Structure 1
């Protein structure tokens, strides 16, 4: 399916959403890389308390994902995005002024809840504002905007830490700008388009758990996210083992993000829009697993960076089509709930994956042993086989990856031709 992305850049609403994606990731990644260190070294929390604070945020994020989808379907995407940004902004302010473990726990819970409301709702709004033929390209450019923000955030953190300054208030300001921009620039969506959406009974959302093919897909994606989450866990450990310092590891993340900014558009145009999405997903998992596996044989900075590039190539093949397939499975009036459930599955999969992965690496001799990396390779082959079998089942039902043409979306976010 060869689709021109030119019309995307004439879609004012979509451009505004890319601005929101940029600000959301900028505000988030101003804090994520240094948050555990600041809690432990500056606020003097113990390592176990740091873990509890991070865990509280993760649990609240899962709850926000389950709540945010149905709420955005009932009350409008714009309203939920505004509230999500406000909650995260308040949480960042709380981080800055907190001086006790309980206050950090409360702020982390607010931050997780806001993130759970914001991220899946923004994805659902992107799907609302573009046609079905444009969605893969739209989600690809979303990834580019996100990684551009991560690069800017990384440079900003370097500047702030060189002056011994904390990023929390700057992050809170960015979330405030995001909330104001959303309120003033985005048109109202669901409530103006269909006022009776407010009265949709919550029992209708139970249909998601009876949607068999979507549940199969979600189960496979849970395993995918478990594998995907390993990289953030093992790259710093392997990098420190090989380089004997952590200072160069951040540069690998910068290289990865720069690669997405430079190549995601080309991959979307010449690969994702030309092959079946299930095939793209399968190849993406193969590259992600390969990147993880070859880390065990990376013995200097350049080979570590090469493993990172293999991983990020898999991410560029997987992420856009994963979001597109969620739209494919969803019903128009429950789109936010489907994205919320997808975000919930991602959170559970990542949490399980990092927990199991940490234990597995420890039991098999640590990052200096070959055992963990061989296990990652075997897990990759298993997951590719499972996804391949599901693709054989799903591809004929997907129309071989070609979406049904539909009318251009309205400014109010209605979608025609949805499944």
Structure 2
């Protein structure tokens, strides 16, 4: 069964949610990568001010994921998803008035908070479907996101050639449309809450109970902490590789080639790879194998092929892209499915929100570490690659050893196998 056939088997609301996940990434990569250039080149804003604006957007998303998860568990999936779409539409529209500093910051804040509302609720909602295994469901989510990441910049370039205003409007419109669709299509259900106490009618106590439920889940907290290593690696195709190629005097077209190759592989192979992995070993094994592959992939750049032969250099870069992407293919769906498994169907959205806090810390730590390694390249030109290899292997080791599941029974594996046959 192909990804497309699996997509068609899903109920309408899940198909719309997958399309919304695609549009969320499409809109983001259509507008945000070009925002800094427009603000500095066209509006003549300082680089430091633009950095603060983009930092506000990132903080409002990464820093408020937990709030979004709490709201989804308190109110149900529908409200945060609908409000998230509306806020993203409003935020993108406000970028039309970027010459007003207050509206510019408002746009950055709203677009970030929209992601913080939408993502945990959407992930928890995806985990509720009953047609596919959770890993297969999240593999479809990965395909949708990668497709948006691939097509978004191309659409952005074409629209920006007409006008920045048109780009903002086109990026905003689908979110307003999805808000109306989900308002009608999604049911007003509530996520499973922690067991109610005598004072559970108090909203603050309900929120406190949800947080207590999450923080007392030691296996989940440990899993989130260990997976920050995964997020230290995941961003390096769009950070370390462009930085390295720029230092080697390559152009943006060369950088785009690497990112396109990774996205195309992920789009076409994600679902069949996930189905194959489900037939063998356990999620814990595949998460460790995948993260190890992501780290080891950077060993392809340790030999100095640039000084020897350009063909060998690009072959090594191709090997890196393939191995790194394969690592994400075998780990990503199982990481997301494990979150809902570890949540035991209690406060699932808050678990996702909490997990993404560690993801944000991992992204920042990974970029900072690699940037520092490049600054100290005079000590060893391969210092950044050694760091990434160690991160991958160490994270894989921690996941396999510290998170060996005592409740990972043969019956659970048999259930999974019976679903996919």
| TM-score, normalised by the number of residues in structure 2 | 0.86
* Cα displacement string for residues 204-227 of structure 1 (whole angstroms, at most 9, x for unaligned residues): 122211211111111101222123
Which SS does the other structure have where 2:253 is aligned?
coil
Distance, in Å, in 2 between the alignment partners of 1:265 and 1:238 is 31
- The residue number in structure 2 matching 1:153 is 152
Which SS does the other structure have where 1:402 is aligned?
helix
Distance, in Å, in 1 between the alignment partners of 2:240 and 2:40 is 21
Q: Is the 8 A contact 2:227 2:395 kept in 1?
A: no
Q: Is the 8 A contact 2:230 2:362 kept in 1?
A: yes
- The residue number in structure 2 matching 1:289 is 295
Cα distance, 1:177 vs. partner? 1.8
- Are 2:378 and 1:365 aligned? yes
User: Structure 1 residues 374, 63: closer, same or farther in 2, change over 3 A?
Assistant: closer
Q: Is the 8 A contact 1:49 1:101 kept in 2?
A: no
Cα distance, 1:274 vs. partner? 2.9
Distance, in Å, in 1 between the alignment partners of 2:31 and 2:248 is 26
- Are 2:95 and 1:83 aligned? no
User: Structure 1 residues 381, 237: closer, same or farther in 2, change over 3 A?
Assistant: same
Describe how 1:256-405 pairs up with structure 2 within 5 A. Answer: 256-297=262-303, 299=306, 300-365=313-378, 369-391=381-403, 393-394=404-405, 396-399=406-409, 402=412
Cα distance, 1:296 vs. partner? 4.6
Cα distance, 1:400 vs. partner? 5.5
- Are 2:207 and 1:202 aligned? yes
Q: Is the 8 A contact 2:191 2:348 kept in 1?
A: no
- The residue number in structure 1 matching 2:74 is 74
- The residue number in structure 2 matching 1:144 is 143
Q: Which structure 2 segments of 5+ residues have no match? A: 307-312, 417-421
Q: Is the 8 A contact 2:83 2:114 kept in 1?
A: yes
* Cα displacement string for residues 53-75 of structure 1 (whole angstroms, at most 9, x for unaligned residues): 12111211134311111111121
- The residue number in structure 2 matching 1:245 is 251
Cα distance, 1:290 vs. partner? 2.1
Bigger shift: 349-358 or 210-219? 349-358
Cα distance, 1:5 vs. partner? 9.8
Distance, in Å, in 2 between the alignment partners of 1:375 and 1:148 is 30
Bigger shift: 67-76 or 45-54? 45-54
Cα distance, 1:87 vs. partner? 1.2
Between the two proteins, the alignment pairs up a number of residues equal to 400
Q: Is the 8 A contact 2:266 2:329 kept in 1?
A: yes
User: Structure 1 residues 33, 401: closer, same or farther in 2, change over 3 A?
Assistant: farther
- The residue number in structure 2 matching 1:417 is none
Match of 1:213 among 210, 214, 219: 219
Q: Cα RMSD over matched residues?
A: 3.0
Cα distance, 1:303 vs. partner? 3.3
Bigger shift: 166-175 or 184-193? 184-193
